[in-house]
């Protein structure tokens, strides 16, 4: 009985952590995936598990006149969020975000999505 | 991850884990069955496992750096160094390589090394591998518990599966002590299997229960293959424990003949299981 209680406690502790296990996938994005915003100063991505910022990139391409995005930097204490500042101005038009991250469990994942700036 | 890189990383993981399991099993066998004969192989053969482990560790690190950068060809040395210093799994793999080199020094030394030191070094190698893979995906207390469970799983696999080869070699010369050695190994293996099954169930429950997406068919198939191999291994171990061990007490010669085959089958299944685990560790559960 004591063994079972110990195993149950271990299982509960192991499952108590925030975030999902096994490979980092995009959980939330700002601007939202496929969304439309009036203005954008940065792209902020939250993943399903912690990532290694030094080996993770966010690239943003946009309409003519868009100056690009800065390097991806950690944003938040849980190491699951990265942010890349957009070089002003972010003219109206369609933007493509491509992310590639190395998660703490050593796996590489990548993906892309679009968003739109304009009224 | 490309197919070529995925295959290379899987092979590196398989070689490093298998070498670690073998070396820790060998050292722990020498500690709990210190009275049993232990023939010493030539230096070149003794050094094979640690040098293979060190090479696999380097290939693993370079392969991960290449994947992290996402560019073809060999990565820049500064990227490899940065991966080893700035990431948790990079530091763990670097530690595994250093411990493998230490084990190679032990293996090449003309005198028998202290088995306790070999056990610590090979146990440290296996423990470091718990920091590379699905268990290392979360920080905090939960992450620590997951890594602890995985490290326990790897060490117990070493005690059981890594003990099969020294057992098979020792049985060649034990003669009348065959039954004693089998009982001793059986008791240790039984405890290790109980811990392995428990830690394996906890790890599987965590990975499947907390995956970002529901388990996909590729992952479930690989998982089913692993479970089938575990079942086959447990079956072979049960034959050794409950058929061969009592037979060894009555008729050692006949038991040894049967054991040669059943231990060879168990070692073959163990290698297949470690290969299946290396494949499983590469997969995203959602696949």
DSSP assignments along A46-81, one per residue: EESS-B-GGG-EEEEE-STT---B---EE-STTS-E
Buried b or exposed e, range B190-208, using 16+ CB within 10 angstroms: eebbebbebbbebbeebbb
Q: Is B1 on the interface with A (CB under 8 A)?
A: yes
Q: Specify the long-range contacts of residues B115-123, CB closer than 8 Å, at least 24 apart.
A: B115/B27, B115/B30, B115/B31, B115/B34, B116/B27, B116/B31, B118/B23, B118/B26, B118/B27, B118/B30, B119/B24, B119/B27, B119/B28, B119/B31, B122/B20, B122/B23, B122/B24, B122/B26, B122/B27, B122/B158, B123/B24, B123/B27, B123/B155, B123/B158
Question: Between chains, do A108 and B202 touch, taking CB under 8 Å as contact?
Answer: no
Look at residue B145 in the predicted model and tell me its pLDDT: 85
Give the pLDDT mean for B150-168: 94
Q: Is B123 on the interface with A (CB under 8 A)?
A: no
Question: Between chains, do B137 and A22 touch, taking CB under 8 Å as contact?
Answer: yes
A111 vs A109: CA distance, rounded Å: 7
Distance of CA B277 to the CA centre of its chain: 10
Look at residue A46 in the predicted model and tell me its pLDDT: 93
- Token readout for B85 is 């210093």
Q: Which helix (H) or strand (E) holds A12?
A: helix A2-14
Q: Which of B88, B139, B142 sits opposite A16 (nearest CB)?
A: B142
Tens of pLDDT along chain A (119 residues) come to 667 776 666 666 655 554 445 678 899 999 999 999 998 889 999 998 889 888 899 999 999 989 888 889 989 777 889 999 998 778 999 999 999 999 888 888 889 999 999 87
> In what side-by-side order are the strands of the sheet with A36-37?
A36-37, A108-117, A93-102, A57-61
Strand partners, A45: A29, A82
Q: Which of B82, B206, B286 sits opposite A15 (nearest CB)?
A: B206
B240 vs B186: CA distance, rounded Å: 8
Best of B10, B65, B139, B216 to substitute, by most chain A Cβ atoms within 10 angstroms, is B139
Question: Between chains, do B142 and A13 touch, taking CB under 8 Å as contact?
Answer: yes
Per the prediction, chain B carries an average pLDDT of 88
- Token readout for A73 is 């930097």
B161 vs B100: CA distance, rounded Å: 19
Poorest-pLDDT segment among A95-109, B194-208, B269-283: B194-208
Has residue B107 got a pLDDT over 90? yes
Has residue B220 got a pLDDT over 90? no
Has residue B160 got a pLDDT over 90? yes
Shortest CA distance from B205: residue in chain A = A11
Shortest CA distance from A48: residue in chain B = B212
Give the pLDDT mean for B91-111: 95
Has residue B27 got a pLDDT over 70? yes
Question: Between chains, do A52 and B86 touch, taking CB under 8 Å as contact?
Answer: yes
- Token readout for B206 is 């965590």
A5 three-class SS: helix
Q: Are B135 and B111 in contact (CB under 8 A)?
A: no
Alpha carbon distances (Å) from B164 to B27, B42, B205, B233, B262: 12, 20, 28, 12, 11
Q: Are B103 and B23 in contact (CB under 8 A)?
A: yes
Q: What is the largest CA-CA distance in chain B?
A: 64
Q: Is B70 on the interface with A (CB under 8 A)?
A: yes
- Which among B169, B187, B150, B147 has a CA at the least distance from the CA of B259? B169
- Which among A54, A106, A102, A23 has a CA at the least distance from the CA of B57? A106
Look at residue B271 in the predicted model and tell me its pLDDT: 96
């Amino acid at each position: 009985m004591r063994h079972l209680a110990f195993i149950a406690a271990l299982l509960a502790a192991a499952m108590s952590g925030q975030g999902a296990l096994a490979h980092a996938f995009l959980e939330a994005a700002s601007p939202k995936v496929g969304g439309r915003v009036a203005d954008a100063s940065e792209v902020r991505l939250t993943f399903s598990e912690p990532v290694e910022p030094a080996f993770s990139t966010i690239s943003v391409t946009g309409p003519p006149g868009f100056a690009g995005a800065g390097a991806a930097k950690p944003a938040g204490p849980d190491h699951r969020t990265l942010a890349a500042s957009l070089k002003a101005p972010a003219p109206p038009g369609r933007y493509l975000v491509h992310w590639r991250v190395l998660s703490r469990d050593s796996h590489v994942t990548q993906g892309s999505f679009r968003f739109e700036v304009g009224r | 991850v490309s197919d070529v890189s995925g295959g290379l990383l899987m092979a590196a993981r398989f070689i490093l884990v298998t070498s670690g399991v073998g070396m820790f099993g060998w050292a722990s066998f020498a500690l709990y069955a210190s009275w049993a004969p232990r023939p010493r192989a030539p230096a070149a053969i003794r050094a094979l496992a640690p040098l293979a482990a060190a090479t696999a560790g380097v290939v693993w690190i370079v392969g991960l750096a290449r994947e992290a950068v996402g560019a073809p060809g060999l990565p820049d040395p500064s990227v490899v160094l940065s991966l080893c210093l700035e990431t948790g799994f990079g530091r763990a793999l670097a530690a595994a390589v250093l411990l493998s080199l230490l084990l190679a020094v032990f293996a090449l030394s003309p005198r028998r090394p202290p088995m306790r030191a070999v056990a610590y070094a090979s146990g440290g190698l296996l423990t470091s591998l718990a920091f590379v893979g699905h268990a290392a995906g979360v920080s905090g207390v939960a992450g620590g518990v997951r890594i602890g469970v995985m490290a326990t799983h790897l060490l117990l696999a070493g005690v059981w599966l890594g003990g099969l080869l020294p057992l098979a070699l020792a049985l060649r010369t034990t003669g009348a002590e065959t039954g004693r050695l089998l009982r001793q190994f059986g008791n240790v293996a039984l405890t290790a299997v109980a811990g392995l099954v428990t830690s394996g169930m906890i790890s599987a429950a965590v990975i499947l229960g907390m995956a970002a997406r529901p388990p996909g068919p590729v992952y479930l198939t690989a998982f089913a293959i692993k479970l089938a191999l575990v079942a086959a291994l447990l079956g072979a171990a049960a034959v050794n424990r409950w058929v061969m061990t009592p037979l060894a007490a009555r008729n050692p010669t006949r038991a040894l003949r049967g054991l040669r085959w059943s231990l060879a089958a168990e070692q073959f299944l163990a290698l297949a299981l470690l290969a299946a685990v290396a494949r499983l560790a590469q997969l995203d559960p959602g696949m």
